[in-house]
Amino acid sequence: MTTRFCLICTFLCGICSIAKAQTPLAQVDSLFASGQFLAARVGYERVLFTAESSALQVGAVMGKARCLKQQGLYAQAVTFLNSQTQPGYPDSLLYPLRREQILCAYLAGQFENALSLLDRLPYLHPEVPPSPLLMAIRVLSLNELRRWPEAAIAYHKLAMMAQADTLSMPYRQLPHLKSEKKAQWLSTFIPGAGQFYAGRPGEAALSIVMQSAGLYFGITSFLQGYYLSAWGVGAGLFGSFHAGGVRRAEVLVRQLNERRAAAFNANVRQQVLEMVK
């Protein structure tokens, strides 16, 4: 009886140990699935700390990167993946890591970094064909950097690959960006013109009124013999509002350009995401 009891216990212990050894990632994945991201990150790190198999390690790296992405810590994910892309891993396992790193770099707003990583990929993995997702990231990164001619070429390649309509290219009509320097020059010589150029007629009118008031006060004071008031108040007001108007025109044009670029990029992003789907 005792011998049978001991044998059953031994058998059950053995089964449990084997199951535990086989599913270290599955347990952590369940933490991830239940939204316990920090606990899951620790779990994936634990797998990295103990596991000797490259497949398990890469699985853990990908898992931790997913957690960081879920928590919005994209820059941290890029740094983490950068430290984990070891040459010791086989190429088939390294490729997903590099792909994830590129995606995180884009999400972190590191557009130059994303493009640099994308450029390196064909040399590091010549056997892997370009994926639509990575091509989409290239298009979107180039867009964010306002390198639209290059983005148009990349978009065309992506559309060909996705067998989408290449005729209705959004790049046929690029956003018209205004010149900050031109706005400055306009405001320097014609008060309010820079603001008008930036599409803000209200601000332009206000600038004209304030500068005119300073000028008027200066001239009338001078004519009435108040030379110091003409200089100290009239010229002072005019000079201050004039210099401020020049700087304000530059800021307004920059804001306008940012709005136009953002609207264009959002439109392209929508189309690119539909293609990748």
Partner 1 sequence: MNRLRYGLLVLVCLLAESAFCQTGTFSREWQFARYLSEKEANDEAAFVLQAIDKQALSAAQRDSLAYLRGWLAYGTKSLDEASRNLLAVSPGSPFYVKSRYFGAYCLSFQTQRDSARIVMQGLPATDSTLIELRAFEQAGLALLQRRYSRYDILRQQFSYSSYALSAEETRLDAYRKGLAAQKRRSPALAGLFSAVLPGSGKVYAGKPKQGIAAFLPLLTLGLLTWEGYRKDGPTSLRFLGFGSLFTVFYIGNIWGSTLAVKVRRDEFNRGYDNKILFDMHIPLRNLLNR
Task: Give me the residues that bind partner 1 (CB under 8 A), please.
Answer: 2, 38-39, 41-42, 45-46, 49, 80, 83, 225-229, 232-233, 236
For residue 71, the minimal CB distance to partner 1 (Å) is 10
Which of residues 230 and 268 has its CB atom nearest to partner 1 in the complex?
Answer: 230
CB of 257 to partner 1, least distance (A): 34
CA angle 48, 53, 55 (to 5 degrees): 85
User: What DSSP designation does 172 have?
Assistant: G
Q: How far is the CB of 173 from partner 1 (least distance, A)?
A: 46
Work out how close the CB of 28 gets to partner 1 at its nearest, in angstroms, rounded to a whole number.
Answer: 12
Q: C-alpha angle with apex 42: 38 to 48, nearest 5 degrees? A: 145
Considering the complex, what minimum distance in angstroms separates the CB of residue 40 from partner 1?
10
- Which tokens is 51 given? 């596991």
Closest by CA to 256, choosing from 183, 196, 169, 177, is 177
Question: What is the DSSP annotation of 256-277?
Answer: HHHHHHHHHHHHHHHHHHHHH-
d(CA 193, CA 271): 37
- By beta-carbon proximity to partner 1, the closer residue of 74 and 80 is 80
Residue 230 or 253 having the CB closest to partner 1: 230
Give the integer Cα–Cα distance in Å for 160 and 104.
25
Both structure tokens of 148: 């639209």
